[in-house]
Amino acid sequence: MTQRYYTVSWDQLHRDSKALAWRLVEKGPWKGIVAITRGGLIPAAIIARELDCRIIESVSVITYDEEKLGKPEVAKPPAAAGDGEGWLVVDDLVDTGTTAKVVRALLPKAHMATVYAKPAGNPLVDTFVMEVSQDTWILFPWDTEQQFVPPIARSAQAK
């Protein structure tokens, strides 16, 4: 299977997070937001602003080491969200659903929302904005930096 890459800019992430907030505003009110770290921190901040929510918790579930899936580990559980009732859980992406399953077990009554979703993880979240194929690796703006890329014609001439 060929690995595909989809680059998300800061502007696009902001627009997509705001679009997610539009979908979530009528599902509230929310007691607070639980951001899944690290990827959910920035979308959670944008959504918190749009939903006028000031209570933000975090949960840290470690599943990835670079581009390699590992055994999930809860590095920091949420402190104040109880069973999740009335809470909104936010992450950047649901991929295989590994993290979502762990967080669901911690906060079974929470509403889980992600900006992006892949088919394998899609059924595990309640709300998302955009679906990408399972073989797509999303390059988020905090994982990348801008650099020069030669024109396609130059790379085709080199072959």
Which pLDDT value is given to residue 159? 59
Domains of the chain and any CATH numbers = 4-157 (3.40.50.2020)
Contact 83, 93 (CB under 8 A): no
As given in the structure block, the two tokens for residue 87 are 């809470």
Amino acid at 40: G
H-run or E-run covering 118: none
Q: Which of 91, 126, 135, 143 is flagged as catalytic?
A: 91
Q: Tell me: pLDDT of 70 over 80.
A: no
pLDDT tens track for 31-68:
999 999 999 999 999 999 999 999 999 999 988 665 55
Q: Which of 83, 92, 126, 135 is flagged as catalytic?
A: 92
As given in the structure block, the two tokens for residue 86 are 């009335």
Tell me how far apart the alpha carbons of residues 74 and 80 are, in angstroms, rounded to a whole number. Answer: 16
Q: Tell me: pLDDT of 77 over 60.
A: yes
| Residue 11 designated active-site | no
Give the count of beta carbons closer than 10 Å to the beta carbon of residue 107.
Answer: 22
Dihedral class, residue 78 (left if φ above 0, else alpha if ψ from -120 to 50, else beta): beta
Q: Give the predicted TM-score (pTM) of the model.
A: 0.86
Which pLDDT value is given to residue 3? 78
